[in-house]
């Protein structure tokens, strides 16, 4: 019920909604602002969708796959985010970049936390009902 495929579909839909929202907010700023909105949104959304799906896939397994995936996603977000900050500040587009980057990060992280919380509750209730 709470598998990788469902996560991919739900997270992709959320990322797409965020992209539309950022475009609507920053469209008056012109194409340059939209370019940096996309630069802030894309890496965080892609890592949130694909990396999140991998963490869902590896959650609860033995071995290093889950913590390694989690650490890789964190480091990728940090590296790409900081690289983008440098480029956006050089091009004087820091506000659109940071807004889309941090907004997308907050929403995607919140979604992932809620996903794992609900998944864990579902598994615990299934175990309880199986025990009875």
Give the pLDDT confidence score for residue 127 in this predicted structure. Answer: 57
Cα 128 from Cα 121, distance rounded (Å) = 11
Q: Per residue in 38-67, pLDDT tens?
A: 999 999 999 999 999 999 899 878 889 999
- The pLDDT assigned to 122 comes to 61
Note the pTM of the prediction, 2 decimals: 0.84
Contacts of residue 77, defined as CB under 8 A and 6 or more positions apart, other chains included, come to 43, 44, 47, 105
- List CB contacts of 27: < 8 A, sequence separation 6 or more: 34
pLDDT digits (tens, 9 = 90+) for 109-129: 999 989 988 876 665 665 566
pLDDT at 85 over 70: yes
């Amino acid at each position: 019920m709470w598998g990788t495929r469902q996560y991919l579909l739900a997270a992709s839909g959320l990322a797409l909604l965020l992209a539309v929202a950022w475009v609507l907010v920053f469209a008056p700023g012109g194409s340059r602002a939209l370019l940096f909105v996309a630069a802030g949104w894309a890496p965080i959304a892609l890592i949130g969708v694909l990396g999140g799906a991998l963490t869902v896939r590896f959650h609860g397994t033995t071995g290093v796959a889950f913590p390694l995936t989690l650490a890789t996603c964190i480091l990728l977000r940090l590296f790409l985010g900081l690289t983008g900050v440098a480029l956006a500040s050089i091009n004087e587009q820091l506000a659109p970049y940071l807004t889309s980057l941090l907004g997308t990060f907050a929403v995607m992280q919140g979604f992932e936390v809620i996903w794992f919380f609900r998944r864990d509750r579902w598994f615990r209730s299934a175990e309880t009902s199986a025990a009875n």
